[in-house]
Structure 1
Amino acid sequence: MNTIEAIKRRILQLCEEKNISINQLANYSGLAPSTLKGILYDRSRNPKIITLKIICDGLDITLGQFFSTSEFDNLEQEIK
């Protein structure tokens, strides 16, 4: 799994855990729904860390909690 795929999966997983939609997350985060959908549907291939921090704020978690999963520990190497 690559980094972008892991980010997408983690956002969807957290929305499911918190029982919120992507649009609700956008509202909680103060982001345009198109920003989140851009990450989730491959229009944004390199989301900025500040955007991920804003998403985490909307989810009421830290960046550390966002990245603290086995998927991120086992990412394939990006440099080939």
Structure 2
Amino acid sequence: MRIQEAVRLRILQLCREKNMTVNHLAEVSGVSSSALKLTVSSYARVKNTGVVTIKKLCQGFGIDFLDFFASDLFDNLDDEEES
């Protein structure tokens, strides 16, 4: 799995766990709903969700930054090619 796919799935996983919609997460985190929807869309063209955005999402979820990555989704990631 590529890292952006793991990030996308982790956001959706945390939304389910916290019983939050993507729109509510956008509102409480300060990330625009359009940017967040592009990030979680399986058809997204987002190649890299930035660290600042992930930090804002963590604040919206009420979790620590490291907790975001404390998931088996981030184990055994595929090598990323630079473009």
TM above 0.5, one fold? yes
Q: For 2:32 and 2:60, locate their aligned partners in 1 and report how far apart those are by CA, in whole Å.
A: 12
Shift of 1:22: 0.2
**What percentage of residue pairs aligned between the two structures are identical?**
43
Paired residue for 1:61? 63
Counterpart CA distance in 1 for 2:66 and 2:75 is 12
C-alpha RMSD of matched pairs (Å): 1.3
Partner of 2:8: 8
Name the aligned partner's letter for residue 30 of structure 1: G
Query: Tell me, which stretches of 5 or more residues in structure 1 are unaligned?
Result: none
Say which is worse superposed, 5-14 or 38-47, in terms of deviation. 38-47
Which one has a larger percent helix, Structure 1 or Structure 2? 1
Structure 2: gaps spanning 5 or more residues: none
**How far apart, CA to CA, are the structure 2 residues paired with 1:44 and 1:6?**
13
CA distance in 2, matches of 1:65, 1:37: 22
Moved segments of 4+, more than 3 Å? none
Count of equivalent residues: 80
Amino acid at match of 2:79: Q
Deviates more, 1:34-43 or 1:6-15: 34-43
Q: Within 5 Å, which residues of 2 pair with 1:25-40?
A: 25-40=25-40
Given the two structures, how large is their TM-score scaled by the length of structure 1? Answer: 0.92
Once residues 43 and 27 of structure 1 are traced to their aligned partners in structure 2, the CA distance between those partners, rounded to angstroms, is 22
